[in-house]
Amino acid sequence: MEEKERIIQLRKELHAHNYRYYVQNSPTISDREFDFLMKELQQLEERHPDMDDPNSPTRRVGSDLNQEFRQVKHRYPMLSLTNTYNEQDVRDWFESVERGLAGEPFEVCCELKYDGLSISLIYENGQFVQAVTRGDGVQGDDVTENVKTIRTIPLVINQGTSQSPTLTGTATTDKQPSFEIRGEILMPWKSFERLNAEREAAEEPLFANPRNAASGTLKSQKSEVVAQRGLDAYLYYMLGDELPSDGHYENLMTAASWGFQVVPRNGNCIKKATSVEEIFDFINHWDKERKNLPVATDGIVLKVNSMRQQRALGFTAKSPRWAIAYKFKAERACTRLVEVTYQVGRTGAVTPVANMEPVQLAGTTVKRATLNNEDFINSFDLHIGDYVYVEKGGEIIPKIVGVDVENRPLMSQPVIFVRCCPECGTPLVRIEGEAAHYCPNDSGCPPQIKGRIEHFICRRAMNIDSLGPETVDDYYRQGLIHNIADLYDIRVSQINGDGTREKSAKKIVASIDASRNVPFERVVFALGIRFVGETSARLLARHFKNIDSLMTANADELQEVEGIGEVIAKSVMAYFSNEENRNIVERLRAYGLQMSLSEEQMSATSNRLAGKSIVISGVFEHHSRDEYKIMIEQNGGKNVGSISSKTSFILAGDNMGPSKLQKAEKLGIKIMSEEDFLSMISE
């Protein structure tokens, strides 16, 4: 076969495999075979630049170049829906449709209301050409490159069956459809949890809910970032001059056959109804079942099914008369604020908490909600005894979203943020430019002391796994421990419950003992210096090599370390300038903790990888990923997370992700096996 023909054939095949993998969840070839075909296509495309296709399957990986979003006017304005919260509103709407259609029979399409952000996708002759955000409804941002990386969105529509795809891109004479399709971009719960876990590890602020995460991601200037974040999309409305059918539901089914994802996999997420009772069956079913969906939903959307009838009903200034959104109500509750208490964290940050009369909210009883900080309290002019509205933000942490000022009890007292630490009485401080208040008494304030000990023993720090928060609290109350160094003084006889808990006491002492071998860089992390996370601790440990050099380093010396900025440098200096901290470090040294890099780490240091940016991908046989990270750094190289044209090579184990492979191939970046890497650094 001629190479150009092969390109067309491969594109067709890869689009179809992509659909089967991501939309249908039933791949017919292995990842490896997929990667092979992709590689072949990339090589052929490189040889035939005249065959360029912006919708080639090779274009899904995104780019690390910064982009600006152009403003694009919507062909049809993107309106919103009227929201309702009760049965009566739904009945009223149903009756208004009956009246509007003068008694003509009609069907209502019942759908899930996805809680993400709306998107408009334009297809011309079966090809994806543009994606625009809602913006102000009249015009939005052109986010085409970002949307292209969402694998469930077809780049080329499939008008054949999924078994024998007849995708466009060939010199076919069949007319391919042109249309606009709208839907919701979402971050599935799984991707959201993974993303927040990664951000927590990197000490970056967390996203409050999947909607914010999806929105932040879609607006990212680098499409490569979008490609890695696992966004998804459900399409809920097709528009255009020549639609396949007069039925909205039927159009969505056609869209599904073209390769669009219109409902989550869990089935019966869309239904046509002809009576209010059927509508309520659907609402009641999903009110309970939605917690099992892979994405967040916040209601049900009801649409008159016939497009002709939709046109007849028309729009009000803001929203269509032919549709309505029923919002699930259990998500918001109204209850009374009884008291505000304050929590003090490990770093001394003080968080106000609303204590309320218990109320049912999305299946659980809620009696506490975060109030964030003083500004938040003031913004509501909150008074004790107020009726407050509570919501579960993205169904995670309950939060107060409003106050019923009309029902405020007479003579009620405004909430005034505490001036002194509720735990130790020390006057609080508010750092300029920050919203939080801090208790500065870090060495005498109980929750800070216990928090630091809990941090010290955690798995990623000293990994003293026989201890947990309850035991720490218990030992602290007994006066056994006041700081992290006291742990090493604990004797079996002090914690064996007069002999009744001898076995567990021995285990605890043994695991504290074992922590003396934990490497220096984790000791630096375990100290709990503010802003020094795992990565900065490693950088500091590797640079200064021992605790004495680190303790005496000045701001300039600290900032010489790549990745250490002014904030961390100041915090490190503040930590070691405190005499109590220095005493603790001396005691830890005396107890035998690792206060310098090991011999092995010292001797392994080389400059073989100096100036090299290396991406690690896949599963390894000889060492863990973390060990490889360390080896790279020890040899002067830099471990980076994503592939770009600056990547020197990829250290690849088994099952390297297809998108990384694809990108590496595209940029011509060398892929190195574990064995080759090991022999290279041991030369």
Binding site for Zn(2+): which residues? 421, 424, 439, 445
544 CB-near residues (< 8 Å, 6+ apart): 550, 553
Counting contacts by CB under 6 A, is residue 118 touching ligand IVH? Answer: yes
What is the distance between the alpha carbons of residues 110 and 112, in angstroms, rounded to a whole number? 7
CB-nearer residue toward ligand IVH: 236 or 544: 236
**Sole window of 25-33, 52-60, 112-120, 245-253 interacting with ligand IVH (rule: CB under 6 A):** 112-120
Q: Does 81 bind ligand IVH (CB under 6 A)?
A: yes
Separation CA 316–CA 307 (nearest Å): 17
239 interacts with ligand IVH by CB under 6 A:
no
Q: Please give the annotated binding residues for NAD(+), written as ranges.
A: 31-35, 80-81, 111, 134, 184, 303, 327
264/658 with CB nearer ligand IVH:
264
Q: Which is nearer to ligand IVH, 297 or 659 (CB)?
A: 297
Stretch that binds ligand IVH, among 109-117, 203-211, 341-349, 555-563 (CB under 6 A): 109-117
Strand pairing class (323-327; 297-304): antiparallel
The residue from 160, 240, 320, 533 that contacts ligand IVH (CB under 6 A) is: 320
Q: Which is nearer to ligand IVH, 87 or 180 (CB)?
A: 180
247 three-class SS: strand
Size of the site for ligand IVH (CB under 6 A): 14
Structure tokens given for 265: 């996999």
Q: According to the binding rule CB under 6 A, does residue 236 interact with ligand IVH?
A: yes
What's phi and psi for 388, nearest 5 deg? -115, 150
β partners of residue 139: 73
113 catalytic per annotation: yes
What mask, x for binding ligand IVH by CB under 6 A, covers residues 170 to 199? --------------x---------------
282 belongs to the binding site for ligand IVH (CB under 6 A): no
List 12, 113, 222, 666, catalytic entry: 113
Q: Is 114 in the site for ligand IVH (CB under 6 A)?
A: yes
Between CA 300 and CA 83 the distance in angstroms is 10
What the block records as the tokens of 573 is 């200096």
- Binding-site residues sit at 31-35, 80-81, 111, 134, 184, 303, 327, 421, 424, 439, 445
Distance separating alpha carbons of residues 536 and 343, to the nearest angstrom? 27
The least distance separating ligand IVH from the CB of residue 112, rounded to whole angstroms, comes to 6
Stretch that binds ligand IVH, among 40-48, 73-81, 341-349, 581-589 (CB under 6 A): 73-81
Q: Is 301 in the site for ligand IVH (CB under 6 A)?
A: yes
Residue (of 652, 667, 586, 659) closest to 620 by Cα position: 652
Residue 249 found at the interface with ligand IVH (CB under 6 A): no
Among 93, 237, 544, 575, binds ligand IVH (CB under 6 A): 237
- Told to check if 391 binds ligand IVH by CB under 6 A, we report no
Binding segment (CB under 6 A) for ligand IVH, from list 29-37, 77-85, 89-97, 304-312: 77-85
Taking phi over 0 as left and psi of -120 to 50 as alpha, with beta for the rest, 412 belongs to: beta
State yes or no: residue 374 binds ligand IVH (CB under 6 A): no
Shortest distance, CB of residue 459 to ligand IVH, whole angstroms?
40
Q: Specify whether the CB–CB gap between 149 and 225 falls below 8 A.
A: no
Tell whether residue 232 is a contact of ligand IVH (CB under 6 A): no
Sheet (strand 323-327) strand order: 83-84, 323-327, 297-304, 108-114, 270-273
| SS3 letters across 158-227 | ECCCCCCCCECCCCCCCCCCCEEEEEEEECCHHHHHHHHHHHHHCCCCCCCCHHHHHHHHHCCCCHHHHH
Tokens describing residue 561: 């370390």
The answer to whether 79 contacts ligand IVH (rule: CB under 6 A) is yes
Cite the beta strand spans of 416-458 per DSSP E.
429-430, 437-438
Binding flag, residue 113, ligand IVH (CB under 6 A)? yes
Within 10 A of 57 (CB to CB), how many other CB atoms are there?
25
Structure tokens at 217: 């991601």
Quick one: which segment of 75-83, 125-133, 166-174, 438-446 binds ligand IVH (CB under 6 A)? 75-83
Q: Which residues participate in catalysis according to the annotation?
A: 113
Residues found near ligand IVH in the complex (CB under 6 A): 79-81, 111, 113-114, 118, 184, 236-237, 301, 320, 323, 325
